[in-house]
């Protein structure tokens, strides 16, 4: 179970840093790309981003579920909370973030679509932040008990 917890921690912390960067730096810079170049930029952005986020998100999800199914001693509630957060992030991604990117890619970027994307992204950013807190608590509990 140590390897699963370690995989969960690494993937969650990776995604935490990445999502904060995207939220605070990357998305707010979208309007500076320029209307004529934005469609090509966004298409390339989406394709490249998938390669960066899909593996750690998949590892985070799988390891979170494994921890919830077989939690370290005394931390079943934390493990379940981590799994719920990881699943929630995937649901938010599939039902809100991906469609928002699809609309932006299809219709172009405007103030309303950027605000919508940022709002959706804030929810995911906060969910990843909460998941990272859960992982820190899981790690602390495991280290403290020596499991």
∠ CA 84-60-63 to the nearest 5 degrees? 80
Residue located via tokens 């799988």: 62
Count of domains forming the chain: 1
Task: Please report which residue ranges of 1-110 form alpha helices under DSSP H.
Answer: 2-21, 35-69, 76-92, 98-107
Contact by Cβ (8 Å): 60, 15: yes
Quick: pLDDT tens for 120-134.
999 999 999 999 999
What's the pLDDT tens digit per position in 25-72?
999 999 999 888 999 999 999 999 999 999 999 999 999 999 999 998
Residue with the bigger pLDDT between 147 and 82: it is 82
User: Which residue segment(s) compose the domain that 139 sits in?
Assistant: 2-145
Q: Are 68 and 79 in contact (CB under 8 A)?
A: yes
């Amino acid at each position: 179970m140590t390897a699963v917890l370690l995989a969960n921690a690494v993937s969650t912390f990776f995604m935490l840093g990445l999502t904060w960067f995207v939220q605070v730096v990357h998305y707010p810079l979208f309007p500076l790309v320029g209307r004529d170049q934005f469609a090509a930029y966004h298409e390339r952005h989406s394709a490249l981003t998938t390669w960066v986020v899909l593996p750690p998100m998949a590892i985070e999800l799988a390891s979170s579920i494994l921890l919830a199914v077989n939690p370290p001693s005394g931390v079943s509630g934390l493990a379940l909370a981590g799994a719920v957060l990881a699943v929630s992030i995937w649901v938010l991604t599939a039902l809100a973030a991906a469609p928002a990117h699809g609309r932006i890619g299809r219709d172009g970027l405007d103030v309303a679509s950027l605000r919508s994307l940022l709002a959706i992204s804030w929810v995911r950013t906060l969910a990843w932040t909460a998941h990272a807190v859960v992982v820190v608590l899981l790690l602390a509990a495991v280290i403290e008990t020596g499991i």
